[in-house]
Amino acid sequence: MSTLVTAELFARPGCGDDVAKLLLDILGESLKHAGCEEIRILRDQNDADHVTGLTQWTEAHNYTDYLAWRTAHGFTATFEAMLTRPLVIHYYDEIYQGQGIAAR
């Protein structure tokens, strides 16, 4: 079963665009990382400086390996310089997925 991971980034005031752009710039490499199944970049409709990565991985260790790789290559430090607090990361098992009438 896949693991869903959310990584919340709380940008310094006015830096939400920069955080989102950097996430989009590194997206190609991220999608090629072992175990990566899907990536979505989300922005809070009420706070443009709150950006979240919603990712799906074959196994949880694939994300932790990915994060270690990003950290070793300096990307974590680059992000942290633009944030008001550390990344907030959560790991989820999917219990159910369904489509509503509007999606059909």
pLDDT for res 53: 97
pLDDT digits (tens, 9 = 90+) for 14-62: 999 999 999 999 999 999 999 999 999 999 999 999 999 999 999 999 9
Nearest to 19 by CA among 36, 42, 38: 42
pLDDT of res. 4: 98
Q: Which tokens go with 18?
A: 């920069």
Provide the whole-model pTM: 0.91
Q: What is the CATH number of domain 3-94?
A: 3.30.70.100
Distance, CA of 67 to CA of 23 (rounded, Å)? 13
Domain ranges across the chain? 3-94
| The pLDDT value given to residue 71 | 92
| pLDDT value at residue 1 | 84
Per-residue pLDDT reduced to its tens digit, 61-81 = 999 999 999 999 888 888 889
- pLDDT tens figures, 82-101: 999 999 999 999 999 999 99
| Residue whose C-alpha is closest to residue 39's, from 75, 70, 28 | 28
With cut-offs at 50, 70 and 90, classify the pLDDT of residue 104.
confident
